[in-house]
Structure 1
Amino acid sequence: MRIWGKLFGGAIGFMFGKFIGLVIGLWLGHQVDKYAAASKQLTQRGSSRQAIFFNTTFSVMGHVAKASGQVTATDIKIASLLMDQMRITGQARIDAQQAFRDGKASNFDLRGSLKAFRLIAMGRSDLLQMFMEIQIQTALADGKLEAKEHALLLTIAQELGFGRMQLDALLKRWQAEYQYHQQGGQQSLSIEQAYQVLGIEANVDDQQIKRSYRKLMNEHHPDKLVAKGLPPEMMELAKRKTQDIQAAYDRIKSERGMR
């Protein structure tokens, strides 16, 4: 129990105002103690949120990888590449690998894990979306989406509060990004892929393009996501996402002659 604020405030108050000063000093000290306790609790909660995000991400990845019947070499490779992108080494990598194995187990509680994650995410839609995008990336590791994988992604989306249309929009965007990276980067980004990455149709006006671009950049801003609970190890994924969004926007601007 924190009492130092009360003791200090009470002592200072008594020195300057006797009994009334003591009362005022105790009250002010109590507010300081409350603030300090709340700050510590928020810090602990943030660390807990990052730990749950980290563990749930890799355990659900393992579950998604097994959706088609068995975990393939490609599934394991994409998990390893993801860890490499995040620069996860040492104990953190061991923990991620164990979580991935836990997710492959037949008794893995998918819905329970997702409910716990959604609860600690506290309704942060951008954080939930980042998680969803990582699972989509896992399902599309081989460039195709099987029926069982789609059904599982839909279950994950619904548990996190996303509808079927939102999932389909995310899938369409990620498929465009996958093709973009498979073809070698920005030089091969087609105008059709650019519109898909931004999640818009080719017939929208310039203002809508700018709004979509700003919205996506805000949702995937690495520093903002980490502050909301994204593990620091996953900042590299957010950075790569913003680079793709920027490349798509630049491609469309060039095509349209936008300023």
Structure 2
Amino acid sequence: MRIWGKFFGFTIGYMFGRLPGGLIGLWLGHLLDKKSAQLSGIIGKGANRQALFLNTTFAVMGHVAKASGQVTENDIRIATMLMDQMHLKGEARQGAQKAFSEGKASDFDIKACLKTFRIISMGRKELLQMFLEIQIQTALSDGELDPKEHAILLTIAQELGYSRTQLDELLKRWQAEFNFHKGGNDSQTSIEDAYDLLGMAESSSDQEVKRAYRKLMNEHHPDKLVAKGLPEEMMELANRKAQDIQLAYDRVKSDRGMR
């Protein structure tokens, strides 16, 4: 039983507000002890930052997949493909499958799940963005975004500290990435999508394009992400994201004649 939060809460409260203040401090200390116990329980069960990232990723993927009303075969295929890309086997794969199923449940508390995830990940922006991009990829796996899926993505984004505008920018970039692969490097569509993937416009200067490219590569550098807590199993995902950024930049450089 944890008591230090209650002890210090009562002591400090009593110093400033006598008995009423002490009682308020005792209650606040109780809440602190309770939250501490919950987090310790998570860590004590072996769910370190990387394991939590994996489980939360698949649980929220399940929730996003169910958002449109029914989990489709394509949703399951995307989840299975992600597990294959991460080479998840044995208990790790079973854990991911279980998390995906739990996320589909009607009583899944997505906000509580994301709050815990944000605390354990220590609010590291690169990890939170990678997590959000995976959910965006799930929602747009069929090339379309259902309004209910958008609502769920907005909830996820806001719980992770992103605004609606930032979410829409990420959605535009991922859609461009989807189209870029679909269109091929020789099409006019691909150059437009290459700009969108970099978050730039054709009117942007060469220097602005270079800065955007460097910023994106820094945010998605696989080694940096793993060092900050990204599971090593997700290294391939980070590599692919970095490769797509590089391809888009090369396409823009070629079109502009940049060196």
Distance 2:239 2:201 in 1: 24
**Residue in 1 that maps onto 2:221:** 221
What is the deviation of 1:90? 2.1
Residues 186 and 90 of structure 1: CA distance in aligned 2, closer, same or farther (over 3 Å)? farther
Q: How does 1:99-248 map to 2 (within 5 A)?
A: 99-183=99-183, 186=185, 190-248=190-248
Distance 2:186 2:227 in 1: 33
Distance 2:202 2:153 in 1: 27
**Residue in 2 that maps onto 1:75:** 75
Q: Any conservation in 1 of the 2:179–2:190 contact (CA below 8 Å)?
A: no
Aligned residues: 215
What is the deviation of 1:116? 0.6
Q: In terms of Rg, which structure is larger?
A: 1
CA deviations on 1:199-248 (whole Å, 9 max, x unpaired) are 11111101110110001001001111011011111111100000000000
Q: Any conservation in 2 of the 1:47–1:229 contact (CA below 8 Å)?
A: no
Q: Any conservation in 1 of the 2:185–2:191 contact (CA below 8 Å)?
A: no
The answer for unaligned runs of 5 or more in structure 1 is 1-43
**Residue in 1 that maps onto 2:10:** none
What is the deviation of 1:182? 3.2
Distance 1:221 1:187 in 2: 27
Code of the residue aligned with 1:127 in structure 2: it is: L
Code of the residue aligned with 2:258 in structure 1: it is: M
Residues 252 and 133 of structure 1: CA distance in aligned 2, closer, same or farther (over 3 Å)? same
Off by >6 Å, runs of 4+ in structure 1: 44-47
Report whether the alignment pairs 1:50 with 2:57.
no
Which region of structure 1 is more displaced relative to structure 2, 89-98 or 155-164? 89-98
CA deviations on 1:173-205 (whole Å, 9 max, x unpaired) are 00011122334x555572101101111111110
Code of the residue aligned with 1:131 in structure 2: it is: F
SS of 1:190's equivalent? helix
TM-score under structure 2 normalisation? 0.80
SS of 1:204's equivalent? coil
What is the deviation of 1:62? 0.2
**Residue in 2 that maps onto 1:27:** none
The answer for unaligned runs of 5 or more in structure 2 is 1-42
Give the root-mean-square deviation of aligned CA atoms: 1.7
Distance 1:91 1:206 in 2: 49
Code of the residue aligned with 1:163 in structure 2: it is: S
Residues 104 and 47 of structure 1: CA distance in aligned 2, closer, same or farther (over 3 Å)? closer
SS of 2:48's equivalent? helix
Percentage of identical aligned residues:
69
Code of the residue aligned with 1:229 in structure 2: it is: G
What is the deviation of 1:89? 2.0
**Residue in 1 that maps onto 2:256:** 256
Residues 120 and 85 of structure 1: CA distance in aligned 2, closer, same or farther (over 3 Å)? same
Q: Any conservation in 2 of the 1:194–1:252 contact (CA below 8 Å)?
A: yes
